[in-house]
C-alpha cells in the first residue's frame, strides 16, 4: 500500500509540473508578444521581427531543455517507485524459517519410516499366516493319509472342508484313487483368497497300496473279465442276462 501511495504521489507531482510548465509557456509567449509590440513602436518592424525570432529560438531551447529535464525526473521518479514497490513485495513474501524447514524434514522422514515399518509388519504377518497354513494343511494331509490306510475307516470325502486357513477361507481336499495307490492333495487359496492362483498352498501325499492289495485287485479284475467271457460261451449264458435286460427296459 505504501508503494502504491508513493506511485500516485509521483504521478500527481508530474501532473502539477506539467501544468506549471504550460502556464510558464503561456506567460513567456505573452511577454514575447508585448516585447514585439514595444520594439516595433520604437525601433521599427524589422528590428521587432529579428528580436521576435531571437526570442523564439531562446524559448525553443529552454522548452527543449525543460522537457528533457522533466522526462529525466519523471523516469527517475518512476524507477524509484518501482524499486520501492519491489522491495515492499519482497518484504511481504512469506519466508520459511529454519525451524519450519527442520520440522518439514522430520515430518517427511517420519512418513517414510512409518511406511517402511507398516510394510515390514504386514509382510511379517503374511509370512506368519503362510507358515501357519502350511502346518495346518500338512497335518490334514497326514490325517487323511492315515484314514485311507486304515481299512476300518471310511475314505475321506473330497471337496471343501470345514477347516479354514489363516485367511478364513475353506481348505479343499482332492483324492485320486488308482490301482497302485491314492493321491491326496490338500489346498489353501493362499494370501489372495482365490483358488487356482500362483500363491496357492499345496500339500501332496501319496498313499501306496501294498503288494497284497495290488495283487488282490488285479486278481479280482482278471477273474471278473474271465467270468464275463465264459458266460458268453456257456449255453444259457445270454438267457441269464435277458431277464436283467428286460427289467432294465421295463424300468
* 183 and 222 housed in the same domain: no
Query: What kind and span of H or E run contains 125?
Result: helix 98-149
Same domain, 126 and 160: yes
The answer to whether residues 182 and 129 belong to one domain is: yes
Would the pLDDT of 200 be above 90? yes
b/e 156-169 (16+ beta carbons within 10 angstroms → b): beeeebeeebbeeb
Cα–Cα distance, 29 to 232 (Å, whole number) = 152
Question: Does the structure show a pLDDT above 90 at 49?
Answer: no
What is the distance between the alpha carbons of residues 246 and 126, in angstroms, rounded to a whole number? 63
Which comes out higher in pLDDT, residue 60 or 230? 60
* Averaged confidence pLDDT in the chain: 77
197 and 136 housed in the same domain: yes
SS3 82: helix
Q: Is residue 167 part of a domain?
A: yes
Residues 137 and 188 in one domain: yes
- Whether 231 is in a domain gets the answer yes
Q: What is the value of pTM for the model shown?
A: 0.48
Question: Total structural domains in the chain?
Answer: 2
Regarding whether 126 and 142 lie in a shared domain, the answer is yes
Q: How many residues does the chain have?
A: 251
**C-alpha cell belonging to residue 195:** 483358488
Q: Are residues 225 and 158 in the same domain?
A: no
DSSP 3-state helix, strand, coil percentages of the chain (rounded to 5)? 70, 10, 15
As a whole number of angstroms, the distance between CA 193 and CA 170 comes to 10
Whether 44 is covered by a domain: the verdict is: no
Are 226 and 236 contained in the same domain?
Answer: yes
Whether 242 is in a domain gets the answer yes
Q: Which residue has the cell 424300468?
A: 251
* 25 assigned to some structural domain: no
Closest to 172 in 3D by CA, of 156, 185, 155: 185
Q: Is the pLDDT of residue 133 over 90?
A: yes
Model confidence at 248, pLDDT cuts 50, 70, 90, reads: very low
The reported pLDDT for the residue numbered 91 is 60
Domain-embedded: residue 218: yes
In a domain, 92, yes or no: no
134 occurs within a structural domain: yes
Q: Judge if 157 and 193 occupy the same domain.
A: yes
Contact assessment for residue 39 and residue 51, using Cβ atoms and an 8 Å cutoff: yes
Domain that holds residue 181: 122-209
| Statement: residue 227 has pLDDT above 80 | no
Q: Per residue in 139-186, pLDDT tens? A: 999 999 998 888 788 888 999 999 999 999 999 999 988 777 889 999
pLDDT for the residue 249: 37
* Same domain membership, residue 218 and residue 205: no
Amino acid at each position: 500500500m505504501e508503494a502504491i501511495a508513493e506511485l500516485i504521489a509521483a504521478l500527481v507531482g508530474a501532473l502539477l509540473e506539467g501544468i506549471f510548465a504550460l502556464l510558464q509557456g503561456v506567460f513567456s509567449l505573452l511577454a514575447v508578444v508585448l516585447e514585439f509590440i514595444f520594439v516595433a513602436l520604437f525601433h521599427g518592424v524589422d528590428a521587432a521581427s529579428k528580436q521576435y525570432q531571437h526570442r523564439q529560438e531562446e524559448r525553443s531551447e529552454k522548452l527543449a531543455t525543460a522537457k528533457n529535464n522533466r522526462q529525466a525526473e519523471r523516469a527517475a521518479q518512476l524507477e524509484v517507485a518501482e524499486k520501492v514497490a519491489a522491495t515492499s513485495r519482497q518484504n511481504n513474501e512469506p519466508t520459511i524459517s529454519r525451524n519450519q524447514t527442520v520440522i518439514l524434514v522430520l515430518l517427511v522422514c517420519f512418513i517414510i519410516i512409518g511406511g517402511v515399518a507398516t510394510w515390514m509388519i504386514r509382510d511379517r504377518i503374511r509370512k506368519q499366516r503362510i507358515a501357519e497354513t502350511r502346518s495346518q494343511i500338512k497335518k490334514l494331509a497326514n490325517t487323511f493319509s492315515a484314514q485311507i490306510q486304515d481299512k476300518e475307516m471310511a475314505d475321506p470325502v473330497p471337496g471343501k472342508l470345514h477347516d479354514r486357513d489363516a485367511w478364513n477361507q475353506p481348505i479343499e481336499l482332492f483324492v485320486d484313487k488308482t490301482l497302485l495307490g491314492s493321491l491326496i492333495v490338500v489346498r489353501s487359496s493362499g494370501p489372495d483368497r482365490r483358488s487356482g492362483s500362483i500363491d496357492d498352498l499345496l500339500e501332496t501325499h501319496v498313499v501306496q497300496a501294498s503288494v497284497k492289495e495290488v495283487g488282490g485287485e488285479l486278481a479280482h479284475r482278471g477273474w471278473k473279465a474271465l467270468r464275463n467271457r465264459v458266460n458268453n460261451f456257456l449255453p444259457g449264458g445270454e438267457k441269464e442276462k435277458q431277464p436283467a435286460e428286460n427289467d432294465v427296459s421295463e424300468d
